[in-house]
Amino acid sequence: MKKLVCAGEILVEIMAERIGQSFLAPGPLVGPFPSGAPAIFIDQAARLGQPAGLIAAVGDDDFGHLNIERLRADGADISAIKVHRGAATGTAFVTYEADGSRHFVYNIKQSAAGLIEIGAEARALLAGADHFHVMGTSLFSPEVIEVARNGIEAVKARGGTVSFDPNIRKEMLDLPGMRDALHFVLSKTDVFLPSGPELFIFAKATDEESAVREMLGRGISTVVVKKGADGAVHYDQTGRTASPGFAVDEIDPTGAGDCFAAAFVSFWLRGATAEKALSIANGCGALAVTKKGPMEGIASLAAVEAFIKTAKTGAP
Ligand code: ADP
């Protein structure tokens, strides 16, 4: 089976317990939960039985070991996760508003996550990789952009493929080197996985079909537009396939897009039809939102297949 690799931040997420609670006053918290978009992606792929490894860095602390142990237990290749003494594992503190919006206090750049590099272990992992997945959240400094470039080039040199989930906020576009980095990543992308509005950061067109056609015209073979509870739409040169989301009660949306992308890419690499890959990906995305904590809803292949057999599509 094809091996996929991702590089980027590992974090723990710590949440305000109550909706509407703010960090301007002390209050009850829940967590730490293992997190970081690349870690979520690799963990979900591994749970589906796809060989998957992560290039990352953590501190030699409980938060780092919590993440490494979860990834190891779920079958991911952790050989290229570096443990740094003297640096702390990254953190994200989250509050939830009644309207569903979230507010984050991050410590990523100044944490061990900012020390990511291509060392001997990362080179060895890439030497056996067939696919590299890039996440926009991981392009937060010139050093991590360089790691992504290295990963893409190593996998492409072996005849492998690249997927890209932009997962990007507009403010990030003005970071130094970001636009060039995005242009480079897009020029090497085979599978592009934007959420609805993100498509228009990259395309000139203002409607979805034309924006996707622009992307397909740039050499991207497959575009999958994620639409939250409404599921996703798949486009390639042969046409358009829409797949509705599964009805679940949403507890915590963090991580759904990463689980969706991991499942879609794993089944794309297995040569599955668009319908099959979308169904497994919508199933993983739906299960991801049913638990508090970005990695707590990650399902095995058997669990997601069982869920899909009985789940209803559409609103809960
Ligand atoms: P992102 O997290 O990248 O913004 P989305 O919010 O579109 O992406 O979620 C990714 C996928 O997860 C969706 O395409 C869908 O399959 C699933 N998903 C997300 N939210 C829900 C929900 N409330 N109910 C069911 N499925 C969901």
Name the residue with the closest Cα to ligand 1, atom 7. Answer: 228
228 CA: nearest ligand 1 atom: 7
CB count within 10 Å of CB 99 equals: 7
> What tokens appear for 236 in the block?
């390639």
| Angle, helices 37-47/256-269, rounded to nearest 10 degrees | 50
Helical spans, DSSP H, in 53-132: 62-73, 120-127
Cis status of the peptide bond prior to 32, with omega within 30 of 0: yes
- What CATH number did the domain enclosing 285 receive? 3.40.1190.20
* Residue 253, domain member (yes or no): yes
Is there an atom of ligand 1 within 6 Å of 130 CB?
Answer: no
Domain contains 2: no
Q: Is the pLDDT of residue 167 over 90?
A: no
Ligand 1 mean position to 14 CA, how many Å? Answer: 21
Cα(287)–Cα(296) distance, integer angstroms:
9
> Ligand 1, atom 2: nearest CA belongs to which residue?
257
pLDDT tens per residue across span 188-242: 999 999 998 888 888 889 999 999 999 999 999 999 999 999 999 999 999 999 9
Per-residue pLDDT, 119: 94
Domain span at 239: 7-310
In this prediction, residues 152-177 reach a mean pLDDT of 89
Tell me, yes or no, whether 315 lies in a domain. Answer: no
Is there a contact between 252 and 31 (Cβ–Cβ < 8 Å)?
Answer: no
The three-class DSSP label of residue 313 is strand
Number of domains in the chain: 1
What is the DSSP-derived secondary structure letter of residue 194? -
285 ligand 1 Cβ < 6 A: yes
- Is the shortest distance between the CB of 253 and ligand 1 below 6 Å? yes
Sign of CA dihedral 312, 266, 45, 167: negative
The answer as to whether 22 is a domain residue is yes
HSE-CB for 233 with a 13 A CA cutoff: 12
Q: Is residue 1 situated within a structural domain?
A: no
Q: 278 or 203: which carries more pLDDT confidence?
A: 278
Q: Is the CB of 244 under 6 A from ligand 1?
A: no
Kindly give the number of the ligand 1 atom that is closest to the alpha carbon of 281.
Answer: 16
Is the beta carbon of 151 within 6 A of some atom in ligand 1? no
Does ligand 1 lie within 6 Å of residue 167's CB atom?
A: yes
Span of 3-7, 65-69, 194-198, 267-271 with lowest mean pLDDT: 194-198
Mutation to probe ligand 1, out of 208, 275, 289 (largest number of atoms < 8 A from CB): 289
On whether residue 193 sits in a domain, the answer given is yes
Index of the ligand 1 atom closest to the CA of residue 253:
20
Burial of 206 from C-beta contacts in 10 A (0-12 / 13-18 / 19+)? exposed
Query: Edge-to-edge, what's the strand order for the sheet holding 81-84?
Result: 81-84, 52-59, 4-7, 131-135, 161-165, 191-192, 222-226, 232-236, 239-243
Beta strands in 136-180 (DSSP E): 161-165
Is 316 part of any domain? no
96 lines ligand 1 (CB under 6 A): no
239: amino acid identity, one letter: G
Q: Which residues contact 141 (CB under 8 A, 6 or more apart)?
A: 109, 114
Q: Which of 28-42, 94-108, 119-133, 273-287 has the lowest mean pLDDT?
A: 94-108
What number does the ligand 1 atom closest to the CA of 254 have?
A: 2
Here the ipTM equals: 0.98
Per-residue DSSP letter, 241: E
Spacing, Cα 159 to ligand 1 middle (Å): 31
Strands (E), 145-221: 161-165, 191-192
Is the CB of residue 282 below 6 angstroms from any atom belonging to ligand 1?
Answer: yes
Task: Measure 153 CA to ligand 1 centroid, in angstroms.
Answer: 30
**Which DSSP letter does residue 89 get?**
P
- Assigned domain for 213 exists: yes
Q: Are strands 52-59 and 29-35 parallel, antiparallel or unpaired?
A: unpaired
